[in-house]
Amino acid sequence: MNAKLDLEEVVVNGKKLETPVFVSGPCSAETEEQVLETGRKIAKMGIPIYRAGIWKPRTRPGSFEGLGVVALPWLQKLKEETGLIIATEVANPHHIKEALDHGVDILWIGARTSANPFAVQELADYLGGKDVPVFVKNPVNPDIDLWVGALERMNKAGMKKLMAVHRGFSHYGPSPYRNKPQWDIPIELKRRFPELPIIVDPSHICGRRDLLAGVCQKAADLTFDGLFIESHIDPDKALSDKAQQVTPEALEELLSSLIWRKSEVGTNGLMHDLEILRSKIDQIDDEVLHIFKERMKVVEKIGELKKKNKVTILQTSRWSEILEERKEVGKKLGLSEDFIGTILKAVHQESINTQTKIMNKEI
């Protein structure tokens, strides 16, 4: 289905948002002091939009679920004092009513909500063309149509000031990321809707501070339209997402290290085909390496078992069987025998080295 979105420039309080656009602030509003102190620093850095969660969708009950309405006047106070544009997450009509009544300027739809068409439709019906920008995060699962569907539901209800937020996708199994970026999905969204601004939320992609800079630069290299990133005056004491939040000072340093290049090809940030394919390769290689790591963990377990039972490391019949079977699978996949042979030999050698270390008690 070839959809179109009827979009308008994102103008807030009479001012058009310039790209790259930056949004920052704490995962959650926790105290008046934390909201104001973080906000003052964010404003001083020239970041135009302040984010803070008031209602937090948490995976497990019992975690901090946000303070709710009592925290909204703090955001209002911050807005009056600094002129910051205020953004918060809404997940039901009650949230929207309270947020708008307290002067919130931008609403965002969280990843868990955009995965639920009933919930998105309820929000869209309630909003019904109100002149408020809406940021739509990708759904938790890597389904581009679900993301497009959420944007369409908002748009059909008359919401024209839309932005998409790429915050990575849930996955099972090992990954350094909390939510895998899967860049090809937001890139495909950009291809389908060149007029739709898409910003990147490195905080929820990474889940940890040390990975933020790399993901931010990747977002800039792929010519996304800005960053949505969590900051907190005292991240280690944050009541939610403490491992991924940074101080405003660290954020300033991070942002000043980024290089935003102008896209040389395409219009409106439309990505070059090569960039799309390269980002797919990056992602696949990342997965291949993590799968190798998983394989090595099993190899170690086998090594320990062999040691315990005094069995030799190399068992030639098993190795010949592996080689033959994998070559057969490779052939069906159209991969050459040579290629499969070379990879398997390298993997096998590394496995023998690891098991030898186990036998010699080096591991």
Q: How far is the CB of 89 from ligand PEP (least distance, A)?
A: 6
Q: Which does 341 bind (CB under 5 to 8 A by kind): Mn ion, ligand PEP, none?
A: none
Find the binder of ligand PEP among 79, 95, 102, 137 (CB under 6 A).
137
The answer to the question of residue 79 lying near ligand PEP (CB under 6 A) is: no
**Cis peptide bond upstream of 20, omega within 30:** yes
Q: How far is the CB of 274 from ligand PEP (least distance, A)?
A: 29
Looking at beta carbons only, is 178 or 327 nearer to ligand PEP? 178
Find the binder of Mn ion among 21, 23, 27, 29 (CB under 5 A).
27
DSSP-assigned beta bridge partners for residue 351: none
The answer to the question of residue 190 lying near ligand PEP (CB under 6 A) is: no
* Distant-in-sequence, close-in-space partners of 268: CB < 8 Å, separation ≥ 6: 194, 195
Residues making up the chain, counted from first to last: 363
The answer to the question of residue 330 lying near ligand PEP (CB under 6 A) is: no
Q: How far is the CB of 203 from ligand PEP (least distance, A)?
A: 7
> Minimal CA–CA distance to 111: which of 59, 67, 52?
59
The answer to the question of residue 30 lying near Mn ion (CB under 5 A) is: no
Cα–Cα distance measured from residue 26 to residue 340, given in angstroms and rounded to the nearest whole number:
49
* Distant-in-sequence, close-in-space partners of 71: CB < 8 Å, separation ≥ 6: 29, 30, 35, 52, 54
Which amino acid is residue 270, in one-letter code?
L
Helices (H) then strands (E): counts for the chain? 13, 10
The answer to the question of residue 232 lying near ligand PEP (CB under 6 A) is: no
DSSP-assigned beta bridge partners for residue 86: 50
Map the footprint of Mn ion across residues 304-363, applying CB under 5 A. Answer: none
Find the binder of ligand PEP among 27, 67, 75, 107 (CB under 6 A).
27
Terminus-to-terminus CA distance in the chain, angstroms? 55
The answer to the question of residue 89 lying near Mn ion (CB under 5 A) is: no
Q: Which does 49 bind (CB under 5 to 8 A by kind): Mn ion, ligand PEP, none?
A: none
Cα–Cα distance measured from residue 133 to residue 163, given in angstroms and rounded to the nearest whole number:
8
Q: Which does 167 bind (CB under 5 to 8 A by kind): Mn ion, ligand PEP, none?
A: ligand PEP
* Sign, Cα dihedral of 43, 48, 52, 54: positive
Residues that bind ligand PEP (CB under 6 A): 27, 53, 57, 89, 110-111, 137, 167, 201, 204
| Positions that interact with Mn ion (CB under 5 A) | 27, 241
